Amino acid sequence: MRVKAMSYADEANMISFRHATVLAGTGADPVDDATVVVEGAVIKDVLSSARAGARVSGEVVNCRGMTVMPGLIDAHVHVCALDVDLSAQRRNYPTSLMAYAIAKAIKQALDQGFTTVRDAGGADWGMKEAVKRGLIAGPRMFVSGHPLSQSGGHADYRTRAENQVGCDCGDAIGMLPSIADGVDEVRRAARTQLRRGADAIKVMAGGGVVSPTDRLESVQYQPDELRAAVSEAQAAGTYVLAHAYTPQAIRAAVGAGVRSIEHGNFLDEDTAELMAKSGTFLVPTFVTYEKMHEQGRERGMTKAQLTKLELVLENGLEGLRHALRAGVPIASGSDLLGDLSRYKTRELEIKASVMGAHAALVSTTRTNAELIGIADEVGTIEAGKRADMLVVNGDPLTDIALLQEETNLLAIVKAGQFHKRLL
């Protein structure tokens, strides 16, 4: 617990969360009967019970029996994925309707306790800016724009009967690919996404479940193409996140210098050791496979897609075990599509079955902040950090599933402002 002497000059702008169990998100044990003092948008102080009585000023919120913890971070969302069938949504949504539906999806993430999200393909600078300007309610957003895919790769939604990429309907925003083949096209595509405001570049380095024509085990993009994307991102002061399932695809992406591997379900022991040595983050996304497996058939997934889905579902937790043993930095994402996004916090319970509840919570707070590059601002309850916090009814270390019920989130605080308050 970090305790600092502070002078409190503006009591009118101060809130003290008293008598809370503080779960800092650092990995340290929780501290009982503590006080978190928020001044403006910042955590001003974290006080033990012995020091709090004479130091508390401003508004006091009694949090006895409750847990104060960092706001959750989801490092792999798709707020523009309005349906499980991504190829059909462009035909079903005019751009205007899509924009309103996306705004609702963005707000839903904050309602679930996620004060920061990284969109892994689809969301653009305008959506991020709409939240920043207060035009819509939502978490702080980091976006990667259109994902880079080779022809026939994971983000190429064309069937074998189609030649044109996309259609002239509902294709101004949302889940659109940037099809790029060869080093020069990859460089141009990466530069275009950066120009349009992408915070990072997403590449499809291997096959996927919902894509119609690629094999799950396929390795996509040649090493020089992957290195081109990484070099462009690094030149702009950012990084590349790579969709990859198999050891071969993961090794190619790690060798090119990507910062994070998304999914990684078939990760083996040797490849996990390579990731650990390189400092490459793993972003597992188990809940999306669970929910699509439960509901995929009724939502129109093809037999081929369901077969691929079963493979990734069967192997994912073993990949996580390899990562944990090797010391890979394990982040957290959900990757849910459409209205399945209501299950975001179920991801933590699945991870906890392997990592334990505390480590699963650290993965979605501190580690995700480290991955995104904002660990000096958010991810832990410490003095000087931005006041992105949750007040939880109960103890998520004892029952991590309680985070799945929004009624257990008694307060959601983003940058010192209450988005939700039930106390």
Residues 321 and 399 in one domain: no
- The C-alpha R_g of the chain, in whole angstroms, comes to 21
Q: What is the pLDDT along the chain (423 residues), one digit of tens a residue?
A: 333 334 444 566 899 999 999 999 999 999 999 999 999 999 999 998 767 665 667 899 999 999 999 999 999 999 999 988 787 777 788 899 999 999 999 999 999 999 999 999 999 999 999 999 999 999 999 999 999 999 988 877 766 666 565 555 556 788 889 999 999 999 999 999 999 999 999 999 999 887 777 788 899 999 999 999 999 999 999 999 999 999 999 999 999 999 999 999 999 999 999 999 999 999 999 999 999 989 888 888 888 888 888 888 888 999 999 999 999 999 999 999 999 999 999 999 999 999 999 999 999 999 999 999 999 999 999 999 999 999 999 999 999 999 999 999 999 999 999 999 999
Residues 295 and 275 in one domain: yes
Q: What angle, 0 to 180 degrees and rounded to 10, lies between the N-to-C axes of helices 346-355 and 286-295?
A: 120
Indicate whether 2 belongs to any domain.
Answer: no
Residues 123 and 238 in one domain: yes
CATH number at residue 36: 2.30.40.10
**List of residues 6+ apart from 277 with CB closer than 8 A:** none
Indicate whether 255 belongs to any domain.
Answer: yes
How far apart are alpha carbons 171 and 93 in whole angstroms? 9
How far apart are alpha carbons 195 and 191 in whole angstroms? 6
Indicate whether 4 belongs to any domain.
Answer: no
Does this model's pTM top 0.85? Answer: yes
Residues 277 and 416 in one domain: no
Residues 39 and 135 in one domain: no
Residues 105 and 231 in one domain: yes
160 CB burial (10 A radius; 0-12, 13-18, 19+): exposed
The beta strand positions in 181-263, using DSSP E, are 201-204, 240-244, 260-263
Indicate whether 1 belongs to any domain.
Answer: no
CATH number at residue 282: 3.20.20.140
Indicate whether 5 belongs to any domain.
Answer: no
Residues 123 and 233 in one domain: yes
Q: Which domain holds residue 351?
A: 72-372
State the total domains in the chain: 2
Residues 60 and 83 in one domain: no
Residues 58 and 123 in one domain: no
Indicate whether 145 belongs to any domain.
Answer: yes
Residues 290 and 359 in one domain: yes
